[in-house]
Structure 1
Amino acid sequence: MRTVLACLSILAALALPAAAAEPAPLSYAGKTVLVTGSTDGLGRELALALAADGAHVIVHGRNAERGQAVVDEITAGGKGSARFVAADFSSLQAVRDFAEAIARDTPRLDLLVNNAGVAFNDGTRHASADGHELQFAVNYLAGWVLVNRLRPNLAAAAPSRIINVASLSAEPIDFDDVMLEAPDAARRGYGQSKLAQVSMTVELAPAFAADGITMVSLHPATLMNTTMVEGLGIPPRTTVEAGRDHVMGLVRAPTLVAGAFYVEGTPGEPLDPQPSDAAARQRLVTLSEQLTGVARD
């Protein structure tokens, strides 16, 4: 009887469909990646993690000494490789020059992480070199230039990815006062710049996906213990390592939903619905083209 039962158990097991194998995480060994704002904080952690995976990392920042320190640390790790390219994103001309240099020297770009950012909570309007509100210029307009100028390089490496590091902080764009010149408008600056990143992602992702480029945005973690957050005088709630792990989870994920906004590692919704407004997105595209001189490709 036991023999019969054992045979029946074996036959039943053979009849069951084989469990689908979990897709393996993506590897960046031998691939080329660009992480903006990677001399400190989250960007630095991402650069080190990608290099540890065997990637060639283009390190970006304003400070050459800190940039070289990241390159040296990557080199000493003995896995990936790196080079540093300086640019001050408070100047649109500097961003355009940076994009042209990357496009010229890097025919194939496998991953772009738009991470560079600034934040202020002093109630004062800060201006860029071009006279634009500084958070909008650095956090948003620089990314607009990079995704459009580097699209051919990303397409050449397809399937490739763009990760826009945004935030749950969200203020809708007031198209009558984008540069926050009205009294008390400066408080909206960070949230406006981050929601603009989400809107750009939603708007551009379908066309980029047709080229084999998957573009997403995400909130990596809340108030990480970065230099930027410490400068705001706000107690951190999470660690930069947590933010790094959430971004790297998307970087390595076998599949992503193009155009999606991820809250940490899970598809979510921004706290303001403006990114779902097609008319507002088109106004943002027109404004971005006018301000940067870089057309939607």
Structure 2
Amino acid sequence: MDATVLITGATSGLGRWLAVELSNAGWTVLVHGRDPERTRALAAELDARAFVADLGALDEVRGLAERVADATPRLDVLVNNAGVGFGPPGGARETSRDGHELRLAIDYLAPVVLTRALLPLLRASTPARIVNVGSVGQAPVDLDDLEFTRGYDGVVAYRRAKLALAAWTFDLAAELSGTGVTANVLHPASLMPTNMVREARRGVVSTVDEGGRATLRLITDPQLRTTSGVYFDGARPARAHADAYDAGFRARLAEATERLLAEGPPAHRGSA
């Protein structure tokens, strides 16, 4: 298989499963991770390319895109898999290196910034696919408090970010219509035995293999080559939260996202 895939969050859980499967199938695999040692060890194991970046720093996300574009002439599939879960029960609000609310930063802003930066490469590699790893757990987004500074709850923060990701995926699919690049979002499986599930102290419901096979289908199934703008629950097309289909909400979310990114990191605002 002469195809190239970038998988974010590839050093454990679903990302690692996908990296191993695709490497064994002959794909050129670009593995991303935050920890240099673990990322490089996985790349060596799979004869893959290692890309280290903290997705909580959007300058590093942009730098990741630049390094990927410099390293490969084509990118057939981008899998935005890296994520932060609920956190420990009752955990306090956390922020990224940039100062954004952590789940907003990793689960939503990073995929937006990375995908936008890689769109020229994806467009040049058509047919190409964008697969966003979402969740069946989605909650209404307070567009007046995207950073969740009031009444914070880790579970709700995660679910807000995953709704935002689904809504943005649908807008992205519409934007890319007719270009040969597709964009879909899926809930791979419920409560797989991953680090984020262990941290949240939730019981395991599904295996990584179940979630991996559902995600792999979106990456490789030739019957889905032109499928775009769809939310999948496992292998089945399903319905995301109703807000994700609301054009008014999506327009307001897009405006709020643009404003947030244009303002720069909260940690740097107001500095000389």
TM over 0.5: yes
Tell me the residue number matched to 1:128: 96
Tell me the residue number matched to 1:262: 232
1:207 and 2:175 are equivalent in the alignment = yes
Q: Note if contact 1:43-1:115 (Cα within 8 Å) is conserved in structure 2.
A: yes
1:108 and 2:74 are equivalent in the alignment = yes
Structure-2 separation of matches of 1:186 and 1:222: 17
1:232 and 2:204 are equivalent in the alignment = no
Give the secondary structure class of the aligned counterpart of 2:131.
strand
Q: Report the TM-score, using the length of structure 2 for normalisation.
A: 0.91
Deviation at 1:209, TM superposition (A): 3.0
Structure-2 separation of matches of 1:108 and 1:251: 15
Structure-1 separation of matches of 2:42 and 2:154: 33
Tell me the residue number matched to 1:53: 25
Kindly report which structure 2 residues correspond to 1:39-118, keeping only aligned pairs within 5 A, or say none: 39-75=11-47, 82-118=48-84
Deviation at 1:74, TM superposition (A): 1.1
Deviation at 1:293, TM superposition (A): 4.2
Kindly report which structure 2 residues correspond to 1:135-214, keeping only aligned pairs within 5 A, or say none: 135-214=103-182
Tell me the residue number matched to 1:23: none
Structure-2 separation of matches of 1:193 and 1:276: 15
Gap change, CA 1:48 and 1:187, over 3 Å in 2: closer
Deviation at 1:83, TM superposition (A): 0.7
Runs of 5+ unmatched residues, structure 2: 264-272
Gap change, CA 1:204 and 1:234, over 3 Å in 2: same
Deviation at 1:276, TM superposition (A): 0.8
Structure-2 separation of matches of 1:227 and 1:184: 22
Please list the CA deviations of residues 174-227 of structure 1 after superposition, one character each: whole Å capped at 9, or x if unmatched: 111111111245441000111111001111102223221010000000000112
Structure-2 separation of matches of 1:237 and 1:74: 29
Deviation at 1:105, TM superposition (A): 2.6
Structure-2 separation of matches of 1:289 and 1:178: 12
Give the secondary structure class of the aligned counterpart of 2:10.
coil
If you compute each CA radius of gyration, which structure gives the higher value, 1 or 2?
1
Give the secondary structure class of the aligned counterpart of 2:176.
helix
Tell me the residue number matched to 2:269: none
Structure-2 separation of matches of 1:150 and 1:293: 19
Runs (4+) off by over 6 Å: none
Give the secondary structure class of the aligned counterpart of 2:185.
strand
RMSD: 1.5
1:273 and 2:242 are equivalent in the alignment = yes
The number of residue pairs the alignment matches comes to 259
Please list the CA deviations of residues 67-124 of structure 1 after superposition, one character each: whole Å capped at 9, or x if unmatched: 122112213xxxxxx1101000111111111112212332311000000001124342
Runs of 5+ unmatched residues, structure 1: 1-28, 76-81
Please list the CA deviations of residues 9-38 of structure 1 after superposition, one character each: whole Å capped at 9, or x if unmatched: xxxxxxxxxxxxxxxxxxxx1211100000
* Stretch deviating more after TM superposition (149-158 or 92-101): 92-101
Letter in 2 for 1:111: V
Structure-2 separation of matches of 1:106 and 1:209: 24
Deviation at 1:58, TM superposition (A): 0.7
Q: Note if contact 1:38-1:59 (Cα within 8 Å) is conserved in structure 2.
A: yes
Deviation at 1:126, TM superposition (A): 0.8
Deviation at 1:288, TM superposition (A): 2.1
Percent identity, please: 41
